[in-house]
Amino acid sequence: MYAAAAPPETPRTGGLLAIVGGTGGLLTVAVLGIALLLLLIIKVRLQPFVALLAVSVAVGLSAGIPVTELFGTVQKSAAVPMIESGMGGILGHVAIIIGLGTMLGSILEVSGGAEVLSRRLLDLFGERRAPVAMGLTGLVLGIPVFFDVGVLVLAPIVYAAAKRSGKSVLLYAMPLLAGLSMTHAFLPPHPGPVAAAGLFDVPLGWVVVMGAVCGLPAVLAAWVYANWIGGRVFVPVPRDMAEAAEEARAAVAAEQRAAGGTRSEAPVSLATVLVIIGTPLLLILAATFSSVMFAPSAPRSVVEFFGNPFVALTIALLMAYCLLGIRRGWSRRSLERVSASSLKPVGNILLVVGAGGVFGAVLKGSGIAGALADAFDGMGLPVIVLAYLISLVLRVAQGSATVAIVATAGITVPLVEGAGHSRAFLALVITAISAGSIFASHVNDGGFWIVAKYFGIPERDTLRSWTVLESVLSVTGFAVAAALSTVV
């Protein structure tokens, strides 16, 4: 586990515990800490990274952790401070994966691979089944591409399909959004599931398997709702957004040509796009199951090497550089500029994930996590249900799925630690946390406004369509995870 230290055998006696005392004090500190976190994010509008760090320090001091254990001493000692160990432990696992995945998604976006994927699927399925094509596009492209980037890139395709058919934008946008949202919440290399896998110390292959097994039925349920709401609520093509999207695409293409021929006129093969996206997933899965099915050997070591997430994503990125870039006339300067620009929005995500690791380390090192585990055990609810409910409450209260996942993982890890659960079960707990983190997207969630803005949906209709769609994804994904947890 990526925690600072094992929970103390006896509760600490400093800070607020000196007043409240014992386990009751630990639980009081935990409740007040979560309340303070929500207050800072919701009311004070403090950046989540700063809020998580501030709450971690406040909780640690209130629980009686010495300042030297939290921050270290001026003269460095062998003991690593909790702030450093919590931040470094999780980022050592997450940062490389998120960085490589982000660059891969950016190459697919700028090269036109995303557009090729959507248009080929539309041609394959035809006019009548265009919503299904949009849903599959979101499902496949959502693996390497962030949610908001996927919306930005594919919105013009939605506009074109809706304009051609004369039907509601919702009929095409909602299936696309369901696919993008599911992959963003349930599957690596996206920040939430990767961070949770690091905190639970679960191989990414298991997270991929359980995320897909639970996420695909959730997407199907969401598509059914999308078809229903799309036939009852008419939203016209947003003329202003459609024109702005075309202008933006033209400007980007001109800038890329000026930078040295970033985008070639040579067509991108659909097979090439699918191979690049599928290669890292297959390598990671092969490594995961080879370690389960085969005894240690040289061939198994080779499979595990290439299936290491760092190696698998590096291979996929180099394939994208070669097949989508160099072979189509990209200059080295263009490749460097696209890769570098894609990493700019990643900094905030990594800081939030790292601060979540600090929060988890403080909860564990103070003994609060153990007290919470005892309290939750007394409630009699299965750990997977508790994980889902905690994540759901944090999501609805403050809006950020990433914050909900990392905070819930920090609280939940002690509930399963030392219980002898299989890695498959722990992956299902991660999936439940991910499912809770997307429940009921509403006005405090940036994704709500991205959807409303890009597709021209009034706020009332966004609540009826997008918010309910997210809830369907959440509840269905959790239901499948809970059912599977009884047999693994």
- Count, in order, helices (H) and strands (E) of the chain: 24, 0
Task: Evaluate whether 284 touches 314 at the Cβ level (below 8 Å).
Answer: no
Task: Evaluate whether 373 touches 23 at the Cβ level (below 8 Å).
Answer: no
The residue behind tokens 């249900």 is 385
Indicate the residue among 342, 370, 402 that finishes a domain. Answer: 342
Q: 430 in a domain, yes or no?
A: yes
The answer on 419 and 477 residing in a single domain is: yes
Of 41-45, 68-72, 168-172, the one with minimum mean pLDDT is 68-72
Average pLDDT score over residue span 457-482: 96
Residue 235 tokens read as 């939203």
The answer on 277 and 372 residing in a single domain is: no
The answer on 195 and 265 residing in a single domain is: yes
Which residue segment(s) compose the domain that 362 sits in?
24-87+349-485
- Amino acid, res. 72: G
Indicate the residue among 342, 371, 389 that finishes a domain. Answer: 342
Q: How confident is the model at residue 29 (pLDDT cuts 50, 70, 90)?
A: confident
Q: How confident is the model at residue 260 (pLDDT cuts 50, 70, 90)?
A: very low
Average predicted confidence (pLDDT) for the chain: 85
Task: Evaluate whether 386 touches 376 at the Cβ level (below 8 Å).
Answer: yes
Report the percentage of the chain scoring pLDDT > 90: 39
CA distance 196 to 212: 16
Q: 361 in a domain, yes or no?
A: yes
CA distance 351 to 94: 11
The answer on 361 and 306 residing in a single domain is: no
Q: What is the pLDDT of residue 254?
A: 58
Q: What is the pLDDT of residue 376?
A: 76
The answer on 80 and 103 residing in a single domain is: no
Say whether pLDDT at 97 is over 70. yes
The answer on 105 and 34 residing in a single domain is: no
Indicate the residue among 342, 377, 410 that finishes a domain. Answer: 342
The answer on 143 and 67 residing in a single domain is: no
Q: Is the peptide bond before 309 cis (omega within 30 degrees of 0)?
A: no
Q: 451 in a domain, yes or no?
A: yes
pTM, full prediction: 0.85
Name the H helices within 380-466.
383-398, 401-416, 423-436, 446-454, 459-462
Closest CA to 426 of 449, 402, 409: 409
The answer on 412 and 302 residing in a single domain is: no
The answer on 440 and 389 residing in a single domain is: yes
The answer on 268 and 166 residing in a single domain is: yes
Q: 440 in a domain, yes or no?
A: yes
The answer on 72 and 102 residing in a single domain is: no
Supply the Cα-derived Rg of the chain in whole angstroms: 23
Question: What's phi and psi for 330, nearest 5 deg?
Answer: -70, 145
Q: What is the pLDDT of residue 108?
A: 86
Q: 93 in a domain, yes or no?
A: yes
Q: 361-407: per-residue pLDDT in tens? A: 888 888 877 777 777 777 778 999 999 999 999 899 888 888 899 98
Q: 15 in a domain, yes or no?
A: no
Say whether pLDDT at 4 is over 50. no
Q: 169 in a domain, yes or no?
A: yes
Residues 6+ apart with CB under 8 A from 393: none
Q: What is the pLDDT of residue 3?
A: 41
Q: How confident is the model at residue 78 (pLDDT cuts 50, 70, 90)?
A: low
Closest CA to 4 of 65, 73, 89: 89
Q: What is the pLDDT of residue 262?
A: 46
Q: How confident is the model at residue 448 (pLDDT cuts 50, 70, 90)?
A: very high
Which is higher by pLDDT, 142 or 243?
142
Q: How many domains does the chain have?
A: 2
The answer on 116 and 68 residing in a single domain is: no
Q: 6 in a domain, yes or no?
A: no
Task: Evaluate whether 222 touches 228 at the Cβ level (below 8 Å).
Answer: no
